[in-house]
Amino acid sequence: MRVGMNEFVELLKPELEKQTGCEVVTGEMKRLHGKTSYRGLLVLGKEEVSWSLLFLDRIIVDYWNGRGLDSIVEELCLENEKRKTGNEIGVYFYDLEKSKPNFCYQLVNKQNTLTFSEGRPKEFYLDLVKQYGILTEEKKGWRIFLDIRNTHLERWGISEQELKQQAEQNMKSLLPVRKETIRDSFPGKEAELDVFLKGVKGEELADHLLTLTNSLRFYGATVMTYKGVLEEIAEQWEDHLMISPSSVHDITVRPLKRGYGMTTCVETLHERNLTQRKSEEILSNHVYLYERGTGHLIVV
């Protein structure tokens, strides 16, 4: 069984730290317009200059094809040494005032994450985990989510609770909610929309099925944790909500009394997770029920 990206990162990180003598942190770059994202490692400890993530998306394929870990670490060290100076994004880990407005979190699968979250601030949420980090400012059409470790909290002189409170305050403004109906998915394509609607539940579904994500469409399932978001939709529809976690990047919300039944939602989610999602993109195999009136969110 070949390793996933999380396992690969955890294999590389200590070896790269040993060879460079510097702290290494993980990060993920996301293009502002489009689906492209890259996972990488950032070697700290040099002077400031531009981007310097060591990307792993190509190298992990080499590893799957039998390339040794020592050879990969050697290549990454050489690539890092070619950079005569270091990286301006590394300053986030030394300057609390720069980092604080950019504290945020991602919502991820608990089963896939716990092994790799040792020494990192986290919080359990339903059957999921909030994983804390820094969202860097935009540069050249990209933004980077950098993972935070407990050692960074010690360096900044703040507690885990302070980090979490600040991240909660930041989320709605840093990564605002984006709502899309089925109609929004077919801009200017009425014929295609009609064909789709005939194959599902018809015209009503187009107005009573929402996809929720954030402004980056990057780990956008976090919007289900934002205060008031689900409550507002439930009041608008005057119904409880069925929530399907399409992936770590978005969720699908519909009124409980309309559309597919609960069993069908669960079966569809399981099928898509098995056939259409990479392991690191899967948020959960469970759907959720939001109770209008009480605000309770229940794992089904």
Is the Cα dihedral 164, 165, 166, 168 positive or negative? Answer: positive
pLDDT score at 48: 45
pLDDT score at 174: 95
Q: Report mean pLDDT in 10-residue bins for the chain, 300 residues.
A: 82 91 87 76 65 81 93 89 67 91 94 73 94 90 90 95 97 94 67 59 66 93 96 94 92 81 77 80 90 93
Residue 233 φ/ψ, nearest 5 degrees: -70, -40
pLDDT score at 129: 94
Which of 151, 153, 178 lies closest to 165 in space, CA to CA? 153
Report residue 123 as tokens: 């919080």
pTM beyond 0.85? no
Is there a contact between 108 and 128 (Cβ–Cβ < 8 Å)?
Answer: yes
pLDDT score at 115: 60
DSSP character at residue 181: E
pLDDT score at 30: 86
